[in-house]
Amino acid sequence: MVRFAMQTFGTSSTSPHHQRPTKRSRKEQQANQVQLQVNEQQHLPLPSLLTHPLLDQVPDNDHQLTATFDPDTLDCNICMEALSNPIFQCSNGHIACASCCQKLNNVCASCSKPTGKIRCLAIENVIDSLHMCCKYAEYGCSQMLKFTKKKAHETSCPYIPYTCPVLGCSFSAAATSFPNHFYGIHQTRTVDFQYDVWFTIVLNPSDQHVVLRAVDMLFLLHYDLNHALGNIVYVTFFGGIHREEFFSYHLEVKSGQTRLTMETIPRSILQDDKHSTNFVLIPRPLNAPQGPAQIELSFHQPGEAISGLQINK
């Protein structure tokens, strides 16, 4: 269940007598539409919702209504996905999304009546006016989202919480919190870099991780020691699995006249098997267990802007 505040715009009449409403322009009607501000109950209590900055912009003579609302009622009963316009109904009032109507050859799944021609304008108007806060509001996301845009936003929200990859650490927070966490708790340094520019990292045996910070994304260099054949180096990033193709990186390990090179994509830190085959194995003859390793790195973007996230320095 979620809780939402419904706010109506308009001024109260000072006349004691009932007055017949006059015809208003389209702009005036839009200005007086009901605005819904929705908040998931587990993130913000109702008093916080009623003092939301968006609500504070309303004149004092406007009034507010509060109610509980189950967002599952706005899911298609067939595909169970959130409804989006256009929405159709059969003659018995059963609703379905346009995609499911096509898949079922415009036959209602509940009563077998014809469907796909009659629009359910009431539900469409509710969806158009419904705004909800991101489910990651408690981690810092303050966006109020249209109901139809909420799911897409939450798959790439810059405030998605991640769990610290250090064994035994239960810290969980948005990506922006990890540079300070790694430095304060794990004594791990952060290196700032620019895309398409080579930079050098010297890894000591005590360096299990190094935080790599770009202007819009946070990466993590992993240094796994004492494997049977040598040490493993690979990179992950704080982002969803679906964004792994948005970046690539070059990694080179140098030792005298020997150079090991890899070009690949960083894996999401959410992956269970983070390195898989995307790693460089530094053989023991090139890197003694107690010796440092010199790593050359360069990160690249395919040209697509992926996020508005700004990593705080």
Helices and strands (H, E) in the chain, number of each type: 7, 20
Name 214's Cβ contacts closer than 8 Å, sequence gap at least 6: 192, 193, 194, 195, 299, 311
Residue 125, strand partner residues: none
The model's confidence at residue 276, banded by pLDDT at 50, 70 and 90, is: low
Closest by Cα among 185, 228, 240 to 209: 185
The model's confidence at residue 212, banded by pLDDT at 50, 70 and 90, is: very high
Neighbour order of strands in the sheet with 199-203: 199-203, 293-300, 248-255, 258-264
Closest by Cα among 113, 57, 54, 125 to 86: 125
Of 64-73, 120-129, 199-208, give the lowest mean pLDDT range: 64-73
Spatial distance between the Cα atoms of 305 and 238, rounded to a whole number of angstroms: 16
Around Cβ 289, how many Cβ atoms within 10 Å?
10
Give the N- to C-terminal CA distance of the chain in Å, as an integer.
38
Segment 234-255 mean pLDDT? 88
Which whole-number Å values give the CA distances from 16 to 12, 24, 32, 122, in the listed order? Answer: 11, 22, 22, 33
Segment 135-160 mean pLDDT? 85
Which CATH code for domain 162-300?
A: 2.60.210.10
pLDDT of residue 39: 37
Using CB atoms within 10 Å of the CB of residue 196, give its burial: 0 to 12 exposed, 13 to 18 middle, 19+ buried: exposed
Of 41-45, 107-111, 205-209, give the lowest mean pLDDT range: 41-45
Which whole-number Å values give the CA distances from 274 to 160, 220, 224, 298, in the listed order? Answer: 18, 11, 12, 19
pLDDT at residue 19 is higher than 90? no
pLDDT tens column, 71-110: 778 888 899 888 888 999 999 999 999 999 999 999 999 9
Closest by Cα among 181, 190, 185 to 220: 190
pLDDT of residue 274: 63
**Residue 53: both structure tokens together:** 């900055």
Name 300's Cβ contacts closer than 8 Å, sequence gap at least 6: 195, 196, 247, 248, 249, 250
pLDDT of residue 234: 92
Segment 47-74 mean pLDDT? 51
pTM: 0.60
The model's confidence at residue 306, banded by pLDDT at 50, 70 and 90, is: very low
Name 45's Cβ contacts closer than 8 Å, sequence gap at least 6: none
Which CATH code for domain 2-11+21-155?
A: 3.30.40.10
pLDDT at residue 201 is higher than 90? yes
pLDDT of residue 179: 93
The domain limits of the chain are 2-11+21-155, 162-300
**Residue 140: both structure tokens together:** 């810092």
- Within 76-121, strands assigned E span 87-89, 95-97, 118-119
pLDDT at residue 45 is higher than 90? no
